[in-house]
Amino acid sequence: MLGDASQFYDEWSTEQLMNSDRTRILKWKAVNLANLFLRSIKDAPPESICEIGGAEGTILDIVGKIFAARKLTNYDVSSSFCQYGAKLYPHIIFMNEEFSNQQKESYDLIICSDIIEHVKQEDIFLKIISQSCRYALFKIPLEKCLINSVLWYWLHGQSKPTIYQFGSHHYNGHLRGYTLHQAIKAVTRGFAILDTRVSHVAQFCGGQKQQWLGRHLGEHITTWLFGGAVFILGVSKIFLQREK
């Protein structure tokens, strides 16, 4: 599913493990994902949780502890992440392969945090996920914003650098970018949306100016200006059909 990007990701993972700010960011993601689930589903905590592209397992470990889940499984194509994570979190099952290779196992909850923008065949990927779980939590970056647009660079007399253009040369390996509407529309191909939460970029990084604008303009306008992320909770449409 990732194709040639797997080599890029393995090299990128080695760099990420040396990032001193990584744990703080992962904890922020985990808490937001868990809170979104709890906001909508209070009486049915997931017993089995799978994370796709969960790196060394920090998000999965935190979410698993919050829900007291009995089984935690992490699929990641990076051997560096899996080897490191297996030592850090021995209670997590690490699968060093693509999730599409798994043999039809089903989970109460699947987590995809910053994943679908890396996948070549988005529709197929979401279909596979929807066949394999009841609920899914997504964290999707909202990078189609004003300051990341071709227009913004043009107004400043510049061309948009290749590393910031979505595709095979993107510095983070993002094959596509999303607006809020596009991110939600993508997930609805396989899931009925239960809840969402938008977070503008100043909530996890950014300067004082962005934080001031965030307080005064609100989540959606600040995200349109500077980018951010959306957290989405969905229930599998295939699961809903089976329940009828």
The domains of the chain are located at 5-143+176-201+228-237
| C-alpha distances in Å from residue 107, one per residue of 58, 155, 162, 163, 195 | 19, 48, 39, 36, 20
**pTM of the predicted model, to two decimals?**
0.89
**pLDDT tens track for 19-47:** 778 888 899 999 999 999 999 998 889 99
Assign 5 a pLDDT band (cuts: 50, 70, 90). low
**pLDDT tens track for 88-134:** 999 999 999 989 887 678 999 999 999 999 999 999 999 999 999 99
Q: Please name the fold of domain 5-143+176-201+228-237.
A: Rossmann fold (3.40.50)
Strands 133-142, 228-236: pairing is: antiparallel
The position carrying tokens 């397992």 is: 57
